[in-house]
Chain A
Amino acid sequence: AQSVSQHNHHVILSEAASLELGCNYSYGGTVNLFWYVQYPGQHLQLLLKYFSGDPLVKGIKGFEAEFIKSKFSFNLRKPSVQWSDTAEYFCAGRDTGGFKTIFGAGTRLFVKA
């Protein structure tokens, strides 16, 4: 069955620390992968996406993610977090041949000033 799993449900970091949020997917075929961010009280916004080509994808606000096919992973990274990065982060996958989108359970990041 198709699935997207995020390993960490809650992460607490100090400003300037490096961030890596895990995401693993399970799909039978080719998959498009997305990271979305939800700031407190707001709707989800796209951070970055991967569908083909360079497996290292750069997104907005200094975020990047690496697609590692052999590990079925699409981890989100940022070298130095800021207080304003406090939010919930969702990994999502969509089969290239289908129409359903599957989201991970989300990771709540809290950055201490």
Chain B
Amino acid sequence: EAQVTQNPRYLITVTGKKLTVTCSQNMNHEYMSWYRQDPGLGLRQIYYSMNVEVTDKGDVPEGYKVSRKEKRNFPLILESPSPNQTSLYFCASSLFGTANNQPQHFGDGTRLSIL
């Protein structure tokens, strides 16, 4: 079954304790992306990756890191989490396609609470 898998689904942690949210897709997609969803703000793009070893900042990259060492995986790293990073996070992937017209497939989300 084609899917985007995120782990963990829920995490409560404390300020400053490094954490990683994993994302894996089994569709051989080139493009992967991380979003955070906050009430009234919709989804905001944190980072995206066009392919292995190629990443770039989205609209809200501060406080986050990513890596793309393998095509299927795109982990999101919070080196020193702060309470303002409490949010619902989604990973997504898509084929690169021509003219960027491919829709994205989303994971089930990770709800992070930073105390």
Contacts and interface: CB of A to CB of B under 8 A. Distances in A.
Contacts of B107: 43
Interface residues on B, range: 20 to 34
Nearest to B101: A51
A103 B35 contact: yes
B62 interface: no
Interface stretch (A14-22, A64-72, A92-100): A92-100
Most chain A CB atoms below 10 A, which of B58, B90, B100, B107: B100
Contacts of B108: 42-43
Interface in A68-113: 90, 92, 94-106
Given A43-B106, A49-B103, A94-B100, A99 B40 contact: no
A24 to B, nearest CB: 14
Contacts of A36: 106
B19 to A, nearest CB: 21
B5 to A, nearest CB: 11
Contacts of A100: 45, 48, 58-59
Interface of A: 6, 9, 30, 32, 34, 36, 42-46, 49, 51-52, 90, 92, 94-106
Interface of B: 4, 31, 33, 35, 40-45, 48, 50, 56, 58-59, 90, 92, 99-101, 103-104, 106-109
